[in-house]
Every structure is written in structure tokens, then in C-alpha cells.
Amino acid sequence: MAGRWASGTRVVVALCLLLVGLVGCGGRPATDSAKADVQSLLDRRAAATVGRDEAAYLRTGARDRFDNLRAVPLAAWSYHLTGLRRTGDTALADVELRYRVEGYDRSPVRVGRTLSLALDAQGHWYVESERPAKGSAQQLWDQGEVSVVRGADSLVLGVGQPADRLRRYARLADHAVPAVSQAWGPDWARHVVVLVPDSLTGMAGLLGAPASSYRGIAAVTTGETGAPATAPADRIILNPDAYGVLGETGKQVVLTHETTHVATRAHTTAATPLWLSEGYADWIGYLGSGRSASEAAPELHRAVSDGETPLGLPSDADFGFAGDATRLARAYEGGWMACRMIADHWGEVRLAEFYRAVGAHERRAGAVEGALKDVLGTSLEEFTGQWRQYLLAQLG
């Protein structure tokens, strides 16, 4: 959350900065000399963060999140100044933070941050506070001291979580990674980073979204929007409220589902409909779970039994988290049943080929139709009809 800073006469300065966009009060562009001085300060603070040099860090300003980051294995950390607004002996610095988690991120994660600065008695800049930039999500260490558990193929980072719980989650993630590789193939990083905040509110903060959007959602996978295949691995973010109440099988299904999203992201594009990306993740998630179709798709089973078999495959709009919960459940179940049908009728290898073929298209229009023809030798109309018959046979 955006921090507040004020002491003495700086209350007026802070209010003035908040109003500058509306009434043009106070703030002015900084000189090149000031920018150079601030960038030098940020470089020293970044080096102290990576080097775990507490004394050097404190020489650059407030302790801030230094303690929260102690356990996080950082390979790189840097600030790049993008804007500086100075008012007297204070300033606001807009920066792009770039960091890599050692052993997991192939490229830097990039996030917007805002730093409050002030001049000391010798005329040197120091950091008073740091917070997410407007419109940017929180990082886990913004929420408290981060605990770290390393698994064989996973790194679990938590805030406000007991160590034994994080270790259990690491074991689940370590089971998910080879399960996904067996079904999808080895062409992905084959390790995951799992973030476990202390509450639903914490999860929402990491996603930069209202908590109401994710209530009841056990986990999500997030990455840089539109990022290339060389971008950092996605983070799997757990909702401790919803994930924590699941049984062990449910926890494993969810974590394997999210790990599938990490594995398939390079082949998941704007051409990929949600019924396919979510259905495929569920298909791998349920492999080996022993769940029957009616057990894994209870809402769709109820609809089919009541004579309300869907006329068409789920649309992207059906997957809205903030909408009707039954509609959302049926969308996920419908996508899973479509992928399950492909695996049953054409084989698991063809299912993965179909997924890749859809994502290889430049745009949504014609992507599914082209892949159905090229990979499965059928049309969308025929496929939809087969899917409806499959629902009746499996769930009726």
C-alpha cells in the first residue's frame, strides 16, 4: 500500500505533492546534477541490498525493507531512475526496480517503485521510504519478513507462515514439476517460485487488484503481461484462506494446475482461449488423482443431469472471477472435459500438439479452427458436437 511520510513542516510539502497534478502546486523537474546524485544513491542502496551489507544500506537512508529481504536469494537488484520531482529539500523518485531470484529468474523482473527522498544537513540525498508506484502491485517483502524454503524443484517464499507449512507446500510443488514435465514435455524451466502471503488481502496486494476479485480462488499464476519466452518465470501466488482449507489431493491438483501455466506460458498467447489454457491445466492437475468426471466436474454434472447441456464451449467471459461462481465452475469444468476428450479420443501427445498449434497463431480468429483441422482433423462444429456428446456420456 502507498506509504505516508510527514514530519513537521513536511506535512505541507506532502500535501502539495499530492495536489500537484491537479493544481500545479510546488513540484518541479530536477536538474541533471540532482538526477545523477540520486541515481548514485540508488546504485549504492541496490549494491547493499544484494550484498546484505546492513551498514552500507543504512548509510543510504531508512532501514525500510532490508530485514524483510534478508532470506530472499537475490542474484541481482538495481534501481533505474525514470523521473525525479523535487520540492525544496525533498523529492519523489520514480524508479524501475529490476531484480532476479538466484537460480530461478533468467531475466530481471521489472516493477515500478516510488521513493521519498530528502537532503541531509550536508546536502546529500537519502531515502526516507520506498513503496510500489501508483498502479504497480506490491512485492512480497512489502508485506513483512519473508521466510524461504527450498525444494528440489521449487522455491517457496512466505510471509506470516509457519515453516512446516511452507515445507509442505514445497513438497507439493516438487511433485507438480515432474508431473507437468511428463505430460507437457521438458521444454520449460522445470522449477517454480511459490508466494504465500498471510491473507487474501496480501494475495490481492501482490496482484494489484481488489481482494473481492479473488475470494474463493485458491491460487493464481502471474507473469509480466505480454512478456517473451525469455522473461522471468511466473510466480504462483497462493490464497492462504482458500488453499489452506483444501485436502491434500485438492492442494496437489491446484498446485499442479498452476505449475502447468508456468510450463505452457511460452506457448500461451492471445490466440489461446481460456477454455483451452485452463482446461489443459486442469487436465494435467487431475492426472493420477483418481477423480471421476462427475467428481471433478460437479456443477457441469448437475447441469447435464438437469437437461442443461451447454450448447458451446466456454467463452473467455465465463471465466470472470467476479461473476457467478456456478458459471465460473462450469467454465473450468467444460474446458477440462474438452481437453480430457481430446486425450481420450486422439491421445495425450496430440493434446499437447493441439495446445501448441493454437498458441502459434498470431491472433484469436481462426486459431482453434486451424489447429483442429491441422492436428485433430476435425472442424469446430464437429468438435463441439463431439464434446456435447462426451458430456452426456460422462456426466449424464
Alpha-carbon distance values, 258 to 98, 117, 196, 347 (Å): 24, 39, 14, 22
Cα pseudo-dihedral 242, 247, 249, 254, rounded to 10: 10
Give CA–CA dist 6/12, Å, rounded.
Answer: 8
Task: Tell me which H or E stretch contains 316.
Answer: none
The region, left, alpha or beta by phi > 0 then psi within -120 to 50, assigned to residue 291 is beta
Task: Identify the CA nearest to 189 among candidates 239, 147, 231.
Answer: 231
- pLDDT at residue 14 greater than cutoff 90: no
Q: What is the pLDDT of residue 1?
A: 39
- pLDDT at residue 285 greater than cutoff 90: yes
Q: What is the pLDDT of residue 87?
A: 95
Q: What is the pLDDT of residue 26?
A: 42
Task: Find the mean pLDDT for residues 101-105.
Answer: 93
**What is the per-residue burial (b if ≥16 Cβ within 10 Å, else e) of 7-24?**
eeebeebbebbeebeeee
Query: 277: pLDDT confidence band, cut at 50, 70 and 90?
Result: very high
| Lowest-confidence region among 23-32, 217-226, 293-302 | 23-32
> Could you report the per-residue pLDDT of 153-191, keeping only the tens digit for each?
999 999 999 999 999 999 999 999 999 999 999 999 999
> Could you report the per-residue pLDDT of 62-100, keeping only the tens digit for each?
999 999 999 999 999 999 999 999 999 999 999 999 999
* Residues 6 or more apart whose Cβ sits within 8 Å of residue 266: 187, 188, 229
Query: 29: pLDDT confidence band, cut at 50, 70 and 90?
Result: low
- pLDDT at residue 21 greater than cutoff 60: no
Task: Find the mean pLDDT for residues 321-350.
Answer: 94
| Domain range summary for the chain, segments of one domain joined by + | 10-136, 140-264, 268-396
Strands (E), 239-301: none
Q: CATH says 10-136 is which class?
A: alpha beta
- Report CA torsion sign: 277, 279, 281, 284: negative
Q: What is the pLDDT of residue 234?
A: 80
Task: Find the mean pLDDT for residues 336-351.
Answer: 98
CATH number at 140-264 = 3.30.2010.30
State the chain's mean pLDDT as an integer: 90
- pTM, two decimals, is 0.88
Asked if 129 contacts 5 with a C-beta cutoff of 8 angstroms, the reply is yes
State which amino acid sits at residue 39: Q
